Amino acid sequence: MAKGTAWGKAGGYPGGGSGKNQPSQGAWSKGRGGAAGGAWGKGDQDKGSKGEKGEKGEKGEKGKGKRPSPWSFVPLCSDDDPLGLWQISNQVPNEWVDHSHGGKPARERLHVTFALRMNKIDHLDRLEQVCGNSAPVELKVKEFFLSHVDRIRDAEVYCIGVAFESPGLRALKDTWLQGEPDEGSRRSHDPYPTSDGHVSLAYIQASAWQQAKDFVDANRTTLEGRSFMVESIAYEDERREKSHLRLAGEEGPPASVPSQGSRTAGAAAAASLLEVDGSVLEGGGQILRNSLGYAAILGYPVRITKIRAGRKTPGLAAQHLESFKLVRDLTSASLQGDKVGSCEVTFTPKKTKQGSFSTNPKTAGAITLTVQAGLMPLAFAGGTSEVEMRGGTDVDFSPPFDFMQRALIPVVGRMGVKVTAHCLHRGFFPTGGGLVNLYVDGLAGSLKPIVIDKRGHVTKIEAVCYATPPSGWLDEEDVTRTEEDFEPWLLEELADKGAPKPKVQVRCEAEQMPEGQKVFKASFGILVEMSGGGVFHASGGPLDGPKGRGSLYDVWGACAEKALVPLKAQLKTGAALDEHLLDQLILPASLAAGSSRLLGSKELTLHAQTALHIAEKMVPGVNVKVSAQEGLKLVEITGVGRKPGDSPVSPPGDSPGASTLRAALPPGTLSKAPEQLRVDLRGDLGHFSAMQGVRAEAEVGGDCICIQGCEGPDHAVRLRKELEAVCSYYGFPAPRWS
C-alpha cells in the first residue's frame, strides 16, 4: 500500500490511542466531538461502588489463607492486548500508585469474572455445555473511570478502572446460573447481577487525584467504545491450573433465560436490547417518556442510562417513576432500577393490554407528563382504557391540564386517537392533590399523518379563567367584568393586522380545590386557532386567590399578562403551531402511515430535537428530515405505519439487511496488516460506533468493514464520509461500498 507508512507512526492512528506511553486523544476523535468526560466524571458515589467491586471480586476468586475455589473468567490481556488496557495501565506512573492498598494489578489479573466458587462437579460440566452451544460474544468498554474506594477505611484511595457492557456475556452467565437452586446460590457465584463486568487498573493515592483525573479524562474518549470478541471462557481449578472453553456454537447465546436477580430479560431479549443515553440533548424526562413509549409499542427492551445526569438532582423523580409504572402495567413488562434516584432503568415489555390503571406519585408531579408517556401505548392497546391519575394539574415547567385538554387531545384526535379527560380536582405545587380521569380508545388501524405546515392567520381566540374558590362559586361581578374587558383586549393583542377578524371567547369557571385541601388559586389559559390548522397555547398562573378586598378580576389580569408575553412571541415567529405541541407530535408522526409535515420556528426547541433524536434511534425505517423554509424549520417525518397487534420488531441496527453497509478494501489490507494496526483500528471503530450510534466492525479475513444500524439514505452518506476519513488516515485506499 502506497500510504502504509501510517502503520509506522508512533501510537498509530490517534483515535486508537496506542504506542507511546502518554495520554493522547486522536485528531479524528477530537474533530468528531469526542466527549471530554462521562458519567464516571460526574459523581463519586456510583463510581466508588464499581471500583470496590473489582477488588472484592479478585479477593473472592483467589481467597486468602486457604485453598482457592475453582472459578471462571474472561482474560483481557492474556496473549495480546485487544482493548489496550495493559498499555493504559503501563501509562500510570508508579509515583501515583498506592502500593499498600491494591497497587497496580498484574497483567494476568486483568479479567472479567464469569462465575465464582465453582466447587461442585456439575459446575464445570454446565459451563462446558453453555460454551459449546454459544457463538463468540462481544465485550465492549462502557466507561473509563476514576472512583473513590469506599471500603478502604485507613486511607483515601482512588481506583482507575473500566466498566464493560456485554448483553451476550450477561446472557451466558444467566444461562449457567439457571442451574442453581435458589437466588442465594446464584448470588454466591455472581455477586453483581447488574454489572456486565469491570476491572481495576490501578489504585491511586489521594495526593495524585488531580493528575489521575486528568489522565482518565485524556484517555476516556479513546478507550470507551473499544470492543473485542470473547471466543473462550477460562476456567481455573483449585490447583490454579487453567483451561479454556471455546464458544464453539454457530448462534448467539441461548434464546431462553429465566429471571436472575435484576436481569429479567432472556438472552434473545438481551441481544436486542437498545441502550439510550439519558443525558443527551434535553437530558431530562422527555428522553425517558419517549423511549418508554417506543419500547412499549414496538415491543423490544430498552435500557436508559445516565438518567438526568446533568440535573442538580440526577436520577428518577417520583413523577418519572409513575410514568414507568403506568407503562409497565399496561404492557405486563419487567422493570429494573425502578426507584427514586435511579440513574439506570431497564424496561422489557410484553404485550400491551387495555384495562383500568392508576398513577399517584404522592407529590405534585405533573399529571400531563405521565400522560405523555402513556398516551400512545394506551392507544395501541386496543379497546378502551381508563387511568385514574393523581398529582399536579398546574405546576411550573410542565404543560398545564388546559394545554393537554384543548391543544394536544384535539390534534392527536385528527391522527385517530380518541381521548377524553376530566379534571375532578386541580392540583398545585408543592402538595399536589389533583385528580384526572383519562379515557383512551384503542386505535382501529394505523395512526394518520398530520400536516401543519402553513401558519395562516388567527381565526379564533379562546380564553378560560378558572379559580378554586372556597365557596365553590365565582363572584358574578368578577365574571362579568372579566368577560367584557378581556375580549376586546385579547382581540387587539392577538389578531393579525389586515386579516379577517377572529372570534373571541372568554369564559370563567370555578374548579374544585385539591383533594383534601383548602387552596385558593386562580389561573388563565388561552388557545389561539390558526387558519393553517395549527394551534398555540399559553397559560399564566396559578397565582394565589385574592385576599381582603382584592378581586379575581385583578388576579386573572395578572395571569393573562404573564401568558401573553410568550404567546405573542411565538405568533411572531411565523411558525405554524405551538412549539410545545410540535415536540409532542413527533412520536405519533413517526408511527403513522404516511408523511407528516410540521412547520416550526427559526430554531427547534431542545425538546423537539430530543424527540427527533429518539425517533431516529428507536424506530426502524422511520425517515426524518429537517430543512430550512423561509427562515423557519420544516420537520418532515415519514412514519412506519405501525398498527395495534403488529409483531414486535428489533431496534434499528439489530438485524442485517438494508440497514447494513459494507466497505470492501483491497485484498490484504486488513488480513496482512500488522497486529498493532488491527488493535488501533478496532479501538477507532469502537469510537466511531459510539459517536454515530451504529455498530462498526472489521472483518479481517474478508478485508472489509461492516456497519450495522444505518437508518436511511442521509445517514448512509454521513457514515460513508466518516468511515472514509478513518480509512484515509490509516492509508487505506477508498473502500468499495455495498
Q: Is residue 273 part of a domain?
A: no
Could you confirm whether 607 is annotated as catalytic?
A: yes
Residue 459 belongs to some domain of the structure: no
Residue 153 lies in a domain: yes
Residue 551 has pLDDT above 80, yes or no: yes
| CA torsion through residues 518, 364, 478, 507, sign | negative
Give the mean model confidence (pLDDT) for residues 165-191. 87
247 in the Ramachandran plot: left (φ > 0), alpha (ψ -120 to 50) or beta? beta
Mean pLDDT (whole number) for 64-90: 83
As for how many domains the chain has, the answer is 2
Burial class (CB within 10 angstroms; exposed 0-12, middle 13-18, buried 19+) of 476: exposed
Answer with the residue of higher pLDDT: 486 or 548: 486
DSSP result, 629-679: ETTEEEEEEE-----TTPPP-PPTTSS-STTEEEEE--TTTTTTS-HHHHH
- Could you tell me the CATH number of the domain that includes residue 210? 3.90.1140.10
Domain's final residue, options 203, 220, 246: 246
What interhelical angle do 285-298 and 579-591 show, nearest 10? 20
CA dihedral sign, ordered 41, 47, 52, 53: negative
Catalytic residue among 111, 320, 580, 607: 607
The strand pair at 623-629 and 632-638 is best described as antiparallel
pLDDT of 45 reads: 33
Specify the pLDDT at position 92: 95
pLDDT exceeds cutoff 50 at 232: yes
CATH of the domain at 694: 3.30.70
Residue 2 above 80 pLDDT? no
pLDDT at 60 over 60: no
Instruction: Read off the pLDDT band of 661 (50, 70, 90).
Output: confident
Mean pLDDT (whole number) for 446-451 = 94
C-alpha cell at 349: 415489555
Pick the last residue of a domain from 231, 246, 261.
246
Cell 468511515 found at: 723
Q: Which of the four pLDDT bands, split at 50, 70 and 90, describes residue 272?
A: low
Domain end, chosen from 246, 266, 293, is at 246
Of 203-217, 320-334, 451-465, 470-484, the least confident: 320-334
CA-to-CA separations, 265 to 247, 311, 334, 625, 651, in angstroms, rounded: 22, 30, 8, 34, 15
pLDDT value, residue 653? 57
pLDDT of residue 528: 96
* Residue 215 included in any domain: yes
pLDDT at position 161 is 92
pLDDT value at residue 650: 78
Average pLDDT for residues 413-418, to the nearest whole number?
Answer: 94
- What is the predicted pLDDT for the residue at 252? 52
3-class SS of residue 533: coil
> CB within 8 A of 621, min separation 6: which ones?
640
Residue 168 maps to a domain:
yes
Full domain range(s) for residue 220: 71-246
User: pLDDT value at position 28?
Assistant: 33
Check whether 383 has a pLDDT greater than 90.
no
φ and ψ at residue 275, rounded to 5 degrees? -100, 130
Q: Is the separation of the CB atoms in 367 and 401 below 8 Å?
A: yes
Tell me the pTM.
0.56
Residue 246 bridge partners (DSSP): 232
- State the pLDDT confidence band at 32, using cuts at 50, 70 and 90: very low
Model confidence band, residue 659 (pLDDT cutoffs 50, 70, 90): low
Using 50, 70 and 90 to split pLDDT, how confident is the model at 399?
very high
Q: What is the largest CA-CA distance in the chain?
A: 93
Domain membership of residue 665 (yes or no) is yes
| pLDDT given at position 717 | 81
Residue 409 lies in a domain: no
CA triplet 654, 646, 296: central angle to 5 degrees?
65
Query: Cβ(508)–Cβ(469) under 8 Å?
Result: no
pLDDT classification of 721: cutoffs 50, 70, 90: confident
Greater model confidence, 709 or 431: 431
Does residue 588 register a pLDDT over 50? yes
pLDDT at 701: 67
All three cell numbers of 367: 399529571
Pick the most confident of 33-37, 637-641, 672-676. 637-641
pLDDT computed for residue 50 by the predictor: 36
User: 430 preceded by cis ω (within 30°)?
Assistant: yes
CA–CA separation, 730 vs 3, rounded Å?
8
Q: What digits encode the pLDDT tens for the residues 627-639? A: 988 889 999 999 9
Specify the pLDDT at position 435. Answer: 94
From residue 709, how far is each of 290, 611, 616 by CA, in Å? 20, 19, 11
Residue range 480-509, pLDDT digits in tens: 999 999 999 999 999 999 999 999 999 999
In a domain, residue 454? The reply is no
pLDDT of residue 269: 36
Q: At what angle do helices 579-591 and 606-618 cross, to 10 degrees?
A: 10
Mean pLDDT of the chain: 82
Cross-strand bridge partners of residue 632? 629
